[in-house]
Amino acid sequence: MKRIYFDNAATTPLDKAVLDAMLPYMTDHFGNPSSIYSYGRESRLGIENARKTVARILNAHPGEIFFTSGGTESSNTAINAAVRDLGCRHIITSEIEHHATMHSVDLLRGSQGIQVSHVRLLPDGHVDMAHLRELLAGTDKRSLVTLMHANNEIGNLLDIHAVGNLCKEFDAIFHSDTVQTVGHYPFDLRNTPVHFINGAGHKFHGPKGVGILYINENVKITPYIQGGSQERNMRAGTENLYGIIGFAKALELATANFQEHSRHINDLRMYMADQLEQHIPGVSFNGDLRGRSLYTVLNAAFPKSEKSEMLLFNLDINGICASGGSACTSGADAGSHVIRALNSDPNRVSVRFSFSKDNTKEEVDAVVGKLKELM
């Protein structure tokens, strides 16, 4: 059975050209980058060239780019540093953030008594900017605002410049989880009012286990991971050499092909939305599908029934990979905290379909046809 993979927001397949770039660093250039002899110098050169590539593409200074194990570590580092090093005693976040953010914030609230506020969400899932202003204005403590650039479940896009300028007005620190957008949109960090962003290679056809943390050059923090002088004394531990090479190559390819791939992927997403509306009675969509939304994600809500409650399981049996979570589900699966925050209707079953450059209209037709059988 040929499988159809529609869960690219979770991870993407490794691009062959990325693997080709990584292979020499798995074999010939195997030296520890901290070693001073030739093998080490070759590895170090590979890392620093990768850093320059990433910085150039994001329009940042190479000294602002730090390689990490991925988006989760990067978010943890930024949020903890804001409290530990930058004097933030008030955190403003939302109820639809990634768990890497939510759990970090909860831990700081419990262990250090940090005040936490949740910005209101509009009915379409976007941040209520007027309420964000109220929260910033209503505290005498320095605030950290941590809001994701694109929601990984419903795809809503934050106006990162508007939030950043608001933070600037109130001398707040701004961290944005950009895991779903680095590698998918152009960035101009020299002209973006943000202190921290993060990225993960496996979201844009790079390797797993490697990411970046951008730290604005005007921000000074101490290391989150201790034990060595790697990453300019900011992130201890021997570098993931071939992962770093792969991250830079994947970002380079994604940037070079942005126009072509984003148009193709968005066409697939909107085609599937139209086909679902035509063929599945009662279907609706979570988030701002036809507005400010990530072009890779389509979150569909189906009427709840005995069949639809088993929808993900039945899709998997038929070789279709997607992910989901409803406002209220039975058993061990607590459902999606994002969907619960936006829509408490227990009579809907939500499924996230997310696309890549490798997907086709024929695959969309096959999935919609199978959904017609399963509903």
289-321 pLDDT tens trace: 999 999 999 999 999 888 788 999 999 999 999
pLDDT in tens, 344-353: 678 889 999 9
Domain that holds residue 317: 257-374
Domain presence at residue 11? no
Shared-domain flag, residues 292 and 244:
no
Confidence of residue 324 (pLDDT cuts 50, 70, 90): confident
Q: How far apart are CA 313 and CA 192, in angstroms?
A: 42
Letter for the amino acid at 227?
G
Question: Which among 211, 147, 159 has a CA at the least distance from the CA of 185?
Answer: 159
**pLDDT in the model for residue 239:** 97
User: The tokens of 53 are what?
Assistant: 């590539």
Residue 80 has pLDDT above 60, yes or no: yes
Cα within 13 Å of Cα(104), Cβ side:
28
**pLDDT in the model for residue 325:** 60
Shared-domain flag, residues 180 and 263:
no
Residue 331 has pLDDT above 70, yes or no: no
CATH code assigned at 300: 3.90.1150.10
Counted residue by residue, the chain has a size of: 375
Shared-domain flag, residues 339 and 368:
yes
Shared-domain flag, residues 213 and 261:
no
Q: How far apart are CA 31 and CA 24, in angstroms?
A: 11
- One-letter-per-residue 3-state SS of 68-135: ECCHHHHHHHHHHHHHHCCCCCEEEECCCCCHHHHHHHHHHHHHHCCEEEECCECCCCCECHHHHHHH
Q: How far apart are CA 186 and CA 189, in angstroms?
A: 10
Shared-domain flag, residues 339 and 367:
yes
Higher pLDDT, residue 197 or 335:
197
Where are any strands of DSSP class E within the chain? 4-5, 65-68, 90-93, 115-118, 143-146, 173-176, 196-200, 211-215, 284-285, 297-303, 320-321, 323-324, 348-354
Domain presence at residue 132? yes
- Beta bridge partner(s), residue 321: 5
The number of folded domains in the chain is 2
**pLDDT in the model for residue 334:** 58
Shared-domain flag, residues 202 and 278:
no
Domain presence at residue 50? yes
Shared-domain flag, residues 121 and 226:
yes
Letter for the amino acid at 4?
I
Alpha carbon distances (Å) from 350 to 272, 302, 310, 340, 371: 15, 6, 11, 11, 13
A 10 A CB-CB count for 26 gives 12
Residue 130 has pLDDT above 50, yes or no: yes
* Range in 158-172, 198-212, 213-227, 326-340 with the lowest mean pLDDT: 326-340
Shared-domain flag, residues 192 and 318:
no
Shared-domain flag, residues 162 and 301:
no
Q: How far apart are CA 342 and CA 151, in angstroms?
A: 12
User: The tokens of 214 are what?
Assistant: 């951008």
- Residues marked active site are found at 328
- Among residues 256, 277, 300, the one where a domain terminates is 256
**pLDDT in the model for residue 332:** 40
Q: What angle do CA 251, 257, 262 make, to 5 degrees?
A: 100
Burial class (CB in 10 A: 0-12, 13-18, 19+), 318: middle
Long-range contacts from 99-105, C-beta under 8 angstroms, 24+ separation: 99/337, 100/71, 100/72, 100/75, 100/76, 100/177, 101/75, 101/146, 101/148, 101/177, 102/337, 104/75, 104/76, 104/79, 104/80, 105/79, 105/146
Domain presence at residue 246? yes
Domain presence at residue 10? no
- Among residues 194, 224, 256, the one where a domain terminates is 256
Question: Which among 345, 341, 343, 346 has a CA at the least distance from the CA of 330?
Answer: 346
Shared-domain flag, residues 203 and 307:
no
- Among residues 222, 238, 256, the one where a domain terminates is 256
Domain presence at residue 8? no
Alpha carbon distances (Å) from 153 to 82, 288, 298: 26, 12, 8
Shared-domain flag, residues 278 and 196:
no
Residue 329 has pLDDT above 50, yes or no: no
pLDDT in tens, 18-40: 999 999 999 999 999 999 999 99
Going by the DSSP 8-state scheme, the letter that residue 37 receives in this structure is S
Q: How far apart are CA 80 and CA 224, in angstroms?
A: 8
Question: Which among 317, 334, 246 has a CA at the least distance from the CA of 22?
Answer: 246
> Residue 86: phi, psi to the nearest 5?
-110, 5
Portion of the chain with pLDDT greater than 90, in percent: 91
Q: How far apart are CA 68 and CA 77, in angstroms?
A: 10
Shared-domain flag, residues 220 and 266:
no
Domain presence at residue 1? no
Confidence of residue 335 (pLDDT cuts 50, 70, 90): confident
Domain presence at residue 191? yes
pLDDT in tens, 223-264: 999 999 999 999 999 999 999 999 999 999 999 999 999 999
CATH code assigned at 35: 3.40.640.10
